Amino acid sequence: MVELVFTVNPGIEDIVSREAYGVFGGGVSRYSMLSGRVYYSVDGSIDYLFERILELKTINKAMLHIATLEIEPSYSFLGVLKNRLPRVLEGIVEFIGPGTSFAVTTERIGVHEYTSIDLARVIGDAVIEVVKEFYGRRPRVDLRNPSVIVHGFARENELIIGVLLSGPWSMHRRGYRVYDHPAALKSTLAVAMLYISGARDRQVIVDPMCGGGTIPIEAALLYEDAAIYGFDINPLHIRGALMNAVAAGVVEKIVFRVWDARRIHEVIREVDHMILNPPYGIRYGDPWSIRRLYREFLESAEKALRDRGRITMITTEYTYVHKVVKNTRLNIVHERIVQHGGLYPHIILLEKM
């Protein structure tokens, strides 16, 4: 059994766990919601896991779990950590020998008196000490092209240390984003929304406010044979979405068009899924026009959906959505909080009854 740790967008831990179960064909997970991490124990060689991890579409990073420690925010705690780390990092000698080049990367979320660089230095020193103690020789530090990356993920009062399996960049950064929409949705959240929606192949999937096209592009990468549409009122974004879809190699699978989502029923009907990330009032600065947009869109979407068709939306305007759908055939069947861009929007799943 190997224990992996995935760092994830807070709020989708259960979805990551289900996705991992599907990809690895088994395994046991442990997580708490909104914690931003999922521990996953699974059978298999490191080489097998290494390849399979790239199939996960909802994680940020994956590492082989070496240690989890409680940490304190004071600068003086670095001294305590320096003493404690060599003992908990003993397992690192399995991956780093005297001939292995390594680097340490760190991420830090929360308020600490020390920086990520301070943490990386303390972890790096401990790795050197442990390897030297075990093999009698120091490993080589190579920040440019290391064979092994040791990653430290500090979130509030917890530090997780592991051997990175997913490369130095977060996997939410897909290579296709040549056009960067100013309010782009994280690709991992887009995939999580597609999973939540229950969308399947051979269905009609529409993002009526698609911006740079993240949701339609992720849908096209996920499903072989769905009818996928992306609309946006702004021609600049539609052009950008097309560029992104070309870069992702899925432009033939999506129809992009400039259109006003408040009149979506005039352009498409019998829709199985509307999946969208509409503008938030807090970003717009004008709650009234945003609410009018939500109301008019939901009224039009109700007409465009087939019976039992669904809307999956991520928004900070959830209270308003609750109010508007009271007078419609749209029922809320699922709702959850996630973290996105420093805010805590809800993902709401509505079904047309």
Ligand X SMILES: C[S@@+](CC[C@H](N)C(=O)[O-])C[C@H]1O[C@@H](n2cnc3c(N)ncnc32)[C@H](O)[C@@H]1O
Residues of this chain that interact with ligand X (CB under 6 A) are: 181, 183-185, 208-212, 214-215, 231-234, 237, 260-262, 277-279, 293
Q: Cβ of residue 337: shortest distance to ligand X, in angstroms?
A: 18
Query: Is-contact 233 309, C-beta < 8 A?
Result: no
Choose between 15 and 245: whose C-beta lies nearer to ligand X: 245
Phi, psi angles (nearest 5°) of residue 342: 80, 5
Choose between 33 and 258: whose C-beta lies nearer to ligand X: 258
Q: Cβ of residue 133: shortest distance to ligand X, in angstroms?
A: 49
d(CA 265, CA 83): 65
Choose between 29 and 315: whose C-beta lies nearer to ligand X: 315
Q: Cβ of residue 226: shortest distance to ligand X, in angstroms?
A: 18
Handedness of CA 335, 337, 338, 343 (dihedral sign): positive
3-state SS assignment for residue 343: strand
Q: Cβ of residue 261: shortest distance to ligand X, in angstroms?
A: 3
Choose between 199 and 209: whose C-beta lies nearer to ligand X: 209
Choose between 47 and 180: whose C-beta lies nearer to ligand X: 180
Number of residue whose CB is nearest ligand X: 211
Q: Cβ of residue 37: shortest distance to ligand X, in angstroms?
A: 24
Query: Is-contact 75 115, C-beta < 8 A?
Result: no
Choose between 162 and 279: whose C-beta lies nearer to ligand X: 279
Choose between 106 and 187: whose C-beta lies nearer to ligand X: 187
Query: Is-contact 42 5, C-beta < 8 A?
Result: no
3-state SS assignment for residue 197: helix
Which of 352, 280, 283, 349 is CA-nearest to residue 316? 280
For strand 140-141 and strand 101-109, is the pairing parallel, antiparallel, or unpaired? Answer: parallel
Query: Is-contact 278 294, C-beta < 8 A?
Result: yes
Q: Cβ of residue 55: shortest distance to ligand X, in angstroms?
A: 22
Q: What is the dihedral of CA 70, 76, 78, 81, to 10 degrees?
A: -50
Q: Is residue 270 packed enough to be buried (19+ CB in 10 Å), middle (13-18) or exposed (0-12)?
A: exposed
Q: Cβ of residue 274: shortest distance to ligand X, in angstroms?
A: 12
Q: Is residue 285 packed enough to be buried (19+ CB in 10 Å), middle (13-18) or exposed (0-12)?
A: exposed
